[in-house]
Amino acid sequence: MSNEAGREWVRHAIWWQVFPLGACGAETVQPDHEPLQHRLPRLIDWLDYAIELGCSGISLGPLFRSYSHGYDTLDYYTVDPRLGDRADFDALVSAAHERGLKVLLDGVFNHMGAGNDWFAEVVEQGPESPRAPYFRLTWPADAGPGTRPEYADFEGHTGLMAFNHEDPRVADLVTDIMCHWLEAGIDGWRLDAAYAVPPAFWTQVLPRVRERFPHAYIVGEVIHGDYPALVNTSGMDSVTQYELWKAIWSSINDRNFHELEWALRRHREFMRTFVPQTFAGNHDVTRIASHIADPANLTHVAAILFTVGGTPSVYYGDEQGYHGVKEERLGGDDQIRPVLPESPSAFSVLGRWLHEEYRLLIGVRRRHPWLHDAVTRTRQVSNDVLVYESVPSGESDSAVGESGAALVTALNIGDQHVRIAAADVAEILAGSGALVAGEDAGSTMIELPAHSWVVCGR
C-alpha cells in the first residue's frame, strides 16, 4: 500500500458524502443569466452533524459552474452560481477545517459540458483554434472558421465532450485545476469516471500534484476492472470498491452470504495493494434502504461497512434511512440527490434509530483505527450466517490478532436464532447478540437472534 505513504491522516478518514446541488436545493438546470444564489453556506450548518455522526471529512459532489447536474462542467475555476461564489466556498472550507474536518472535491476530468466556452471558441476559429487539441474532434475535409466538428462524448451522452487525454496540454490543464483548489485549502480529490481515462494520463498529472501537495488524497471512481493494476499504474491512492458494494446488498437480498464471502476474499487481496474507498451508497446508485428488500436486514449493511478494511463513506441521508431509486431517464437521479432539511432537528423521527446504529458503529471504527487496512478472514459461512474476524494488517495468516487486536463480526439474515462458537471473544461492542455459556465447561457462544448482527472484541 505504497501510494498512501505520507498521507497518514487518511487512516482516520470517514467521509460524509454530500451532493451539493441536490442537498442545497439548486435548480436542476442553470437559469438564464446565471443569477448568483448563496446556497453553499447552508452546508456549514451541517458540519457539526457530520462530526456528531462520527465522520472526519466531507466529500463534496461537483461544485463548479455547469449546465445541469454538475458533471457537465463549464468552468473549472468558478463555483457554480446556483451554489454561491468563491467567498462562500472559502467560508465552507474554513469552517470545516476549524472543526477538524477534511474536504474532498469531485473533479470531472474525463469530459466537459458541451456548452463550454472553449468549444464555442473552437467552432468560431476552426481547426486552427488553440483549444481544438483539448478535445477528440473529427473535422470535415473543408473545415474552416465557423465549422462545427463532431466530438467524442462520454458513454453516449452528447452533452459531455470527451477530453483528448493524449495531448499534454490537457494534462497541464488538469494539473493546474487540481493544484488551484488544493491551494485554496481542499485536502484531496475524487476523480470522476477515472475508469474512462487512460491510466498513463494520471502519470503525467499526479506526480506534479504530489510534488506541491504531498498530503493530498486522490481516489478514482472505478466500477469494474483490475483495481490493483489501475492503482499501481495511475498513482492514485485508491478507487471505489463497487464489487463489495454490490455483494453486500445482493447477498443480503438473495440470502446468499457465499457471494459476500467471495467478495471479502477479493477485498482482502485488494488490500495487499491499496485501501479501497468503501461505501453502501453514493450519488450514482439506488439508496441502500431501497435496495434492501427486508428492512430487518438494513443495519447489517452498516455493520459490514465499518468492520472491514477500507476508507468508508456515508452518503448523506443513508444514515437516516432515506429511500430513492435511480432511474435511467432524464431526471432519474433526482430521488437519490434530495434536498437536506433546514437543520438536523428537522429530520423525520423515523430515521433516528438507524442514525443511532450508524453512530455506534462509527464509534467502534474510530476506537479501532487499525481497521483502515485490516485483514478480514472468514470463520463461518452459510446462506444465512456469516462470521468473520478483522485483525491489523501484518498479522499472521494463521493466527488471530497476534497483537491482541481483533474484532469478530457475526451476521444472521435468517429467520431462526443461531449459536456460534466464540471462545476468543470477551465483550459485545455493538449489535443485538449476546455472549452465553457453551455446552462445554468454560466455553463461550454468541447467541444471535434472527435478522441480527453483533460486533465482538477480544
* Mean pLDDT over the full length of the chain: 95
Q: How confident is the model at residue 377 (pLDDT cuts 50, 70, 90)?
A: very high
Cα gap 204→188, rounded to integer Å: 17
Please state the separation of Cα 216 from the chain's center in Å.
16
User: What does DSSP say about strands 444-448 and 418-421: parallel, antiparallel, or unpaired?
Assistant: antiparallel
Phi, psi of 10 (to 5 degrees): -65, -25
Same domain? For 244 and 200 the reply is yes
- Work out the average pLDDT over 382-395: 93
Same domain? For 187 and 262 the reply is yes
Same domain? For 325 and 384 the reply is no
Q: Hey, what's the cell of 392?
A: 491489523
How far is CA 20 from each of CA 27, 51, 110, 239, rounded to the nearest angstrom? 11, 18, 21, 22
Q: Which of 373, 393, 419 corresponds to the end of one domain?
A: 373
Q: State the residue range of the domain holding 440.
A: 375-457
- Work out the average pLDDT over 24-50: 96
Q: How confident is the model at residue 4 (pLDDT cuts 50, 70, 90)?
A: low
| Structure confidence by residue, pLDDT tens digits, 222-233 | 999 999 999 999
Same domain? For 369 and 379 the reply is no
Same domain? For 282 and 202 the reply is yes
Using the predicted structure, report yes or no on whether residue 314 has a pLDDT greater than 90.
Answer: yes
For residue 318, give the DSSP letter.
G
Predicted confidence at residue 426, as pLDDT, reads 87
Q: How confident is the model at residue 364 (pLDDT cuts 50, 70, 90)?
A: very high
CA atoms within 13 A on the CB side of 138: 5
Same domain? For 285 and 199 the reply is yes
Judge contact between 311 and 271, C-beta under 8 A: no
Using the predicted structure, report yes or no on whether residue 134 has a pLDDT greater than 80.
Answer: yes
Using the predicted structure, report yes or no on whether residue 395 has a pLDDT greater than 80.
Answer: no
Cα gap 274→270, rounded to integer Å: 6
Using the predicted structure, report yes or no on whether residue 142 has a pLDDT greater than 80.
Answer: yes
Predicted confidence at residue 423, as pLDDT, reads 81
- Work out the average pLDDT over 126-144: 96
Judge contact between 101 and 186, C-beta under 8 A: no
| Structure confidence by residue, pLDDT tens digits, 178-221 | 999 999 999 999 999 999 999 999 999 999 999 999 999 999 99
Same domain? For 409 and 266 the reply is no
Same domain? For 358 and 435 the reply is no
CATH number, residue 274: 3.20.20.80
Using the predicted structure, report yes or no on whether residue 400 has a pLDDT greater than 70.
Answer: no
Same domain? For 365 and 405 the reply is no
Of the ranges 1-5, 19-23, 206-210, 251-255, which one carries the lowest mean pLDDT score?
1-5
pLDDT > 90: what percent of the chain?
91
Using the predicted structure, report yes or no on whether residue 440 has a pLDDT greater than 80.
Answer: no
Residue owning grid cell 491489523: 392
Of the ranges 227-231, 418-422, 438-442, which one carries the lowest mean pLDDT score?
438-442
Same domain? For 385 and 337 the reply is no
Predicted confidence at residue 403, as pLDDT, reads 53
Q: Which of 373, 397, 432 corresponds to the end of one domain?
A: 373
Same domain? For 364 and 438 the reply is no
CA diameter of the chain: 90
User: What does DSSP say about strands 277-279 and 311-315: parallel, antiparallel, or unpaired?
Assistant: parallel
Residue 406 has a CB neighbour count (10 Å cut-off) of 22
Q: Cα-atom radius of gyration of the chain, to the nearest Å? A: 23
Predicted confidence at residue 401, as pLDDT, reads 42
- Angle formed by the axes of helices 168-183 and 199-212, nearest 10°: 40
Judge contact between 219 and 190, C-beta under 8 A: yes
The residue among 361, 271, 358, 283 whose CA lies nearest residue 311 is 271
Q: How confident is the model at residue 5 (pLDDT cuts 50, 70, 90)?
A: low
Q: Which of 341, 373, 405 corresponds to the end of one domain?
A: 373
CATH number, residue 380: 2.60.40.1180
For residue 240, give the DSSP letter.
B
Using the predicted structure, report yes or no on whether residue 131 has a pLDDT greater than 70.
Answer: yes
- Amino acid of residue 361: L
Number of domains in the chain: 2
Same domain? For 107 and 219 the reply is yes
Using the predicted structure, report yes or no on whether residue 343 has a pLDDT greater than 50.
Answer: yes
